[in-house]
Structure 1
Amino acid sequence: MLALLLVAVGGGLGAAARFVVDGEVRARHDGGFPWGTFVVNVSGSFLIGAFSTPFHTLTWYGVSPDVAHLVQFALTTGLCGGYTTFSTATVESVRLARSGRLRLALANTLGTLLVTVLAAAAGVAAGSLFV
């Protein structure tokens, strides 16, 4: 029950952070490409990678494995899961395609997939520095 509560709170905080970051990016980059969602998904993928790596090291400092897993779930599944939004990225690609902007739709689809995977890998590498 505690894990569910922590994931729910993390998810709410992540969704609020997504709202703020997306809005700030959109305010600075008005155009055809959905930069707000792209930035959110790339930064969130990096954070998921970074957060997923070092949690077992908490046990080295006397933190129980159960607590370490709760923290990891709250940050990765909750916070980052609420923050990132692959479904919005796909809907934005469909809207771009339907409006005749096929190149932007393809760039959004393939760019999001490629860059988020690279960001997650970079996050894992960064998180590994703490292991």
Structure 2
Amino acid sequence: MSAATALLVAAGAAAGAPMRYLADRAVQARTGSVFPWGTLTVNVAGSALLGFLAALPAGDTLMAVLGTGLCGALTTYSTFGYETLRLAETGARLLAVLNAAGSVAAGLVAGGCGMLLARLL
């Protein structure tokens, strides 16, 4: 990876990380639920955007900034894993299973919808 590409990825990530935090907090504050709706929302949105970009096809520069940088920082597998384990540890095992299965399914569907939208344009 060239230094220029690394800077593009960093620029995208610099936008994606605060977007993730702010969107997650905004959604979670509105739900008042122990279920991690905020993380689910950002992961599904990021999956849709990445599917869209992959189907364009976006050039290397756009994929570095938006695909790797923005979507990589916007989505969060580590938080998804942590929140799923916390649900299970606190006795909300059904919610943990629903979060795991629902997140994977929703991410795949969102990615597919993003790809379909890009192909239609």
Same fold per superposition (TM over 0.5) = yes
Amino acid at match of 2:97: L
Aligned counterpart, 1:4:
6
Total equivalences in the alignment: 119
Amino acid at match of 2:78: S
Amino acid at match of 2:66: L
Q: CA shift at 1:129, angstroms?
A: 2.1
The alignment's TM-score, normalised by the length of structure 2, stands at 0.94
In structure 1, C-alpha distance between the alignment counterparts of 2:120 and 2:64, rounded to whole Å: 20
Query: What is the aligned-residue identity percentage?
Result: 39
Query: Is 1:20 paired with 2:11?
Result: no
Aligned counterpart, 1:29:
31
Q: Secondary structure at the match of 1:78?
A: helix
Please identify the structure whose Cα radius of gyration is greater: 1
Aligned counterpart, 1:123:
114
Q: Could you say what the CA RMSD is over the residues aligned between the two structures, in angstroms?
A: 1.0
Unpaired runs of 5+ residues, structure 2, are none
Q: Is the 8 A contact 1:34 1:92 kept in 2?
A: yes
In structure 1, C-alpha distance between the alignment counterparts of 2:57 and 2:14, rounded to whole Å: 22
Q: CA shift at 1:29, angstroms?
A: 0.5
Q: Is the 8 A contact 1:46 1:116 kept in 2?
A: yes
Q: CA shift at 1:55, angstroms?
A: 3.2
Q: CA shift at 1:73, angstroms?
A: 1.6
Aligned counterpart, 1:110:
101
Unpaired runs of 5+ residues, structure 1, are 57-67
Q: Secondary structure at the match of 2:102?
A: helix
Runs of 4+ that moved beyond 3 A: none
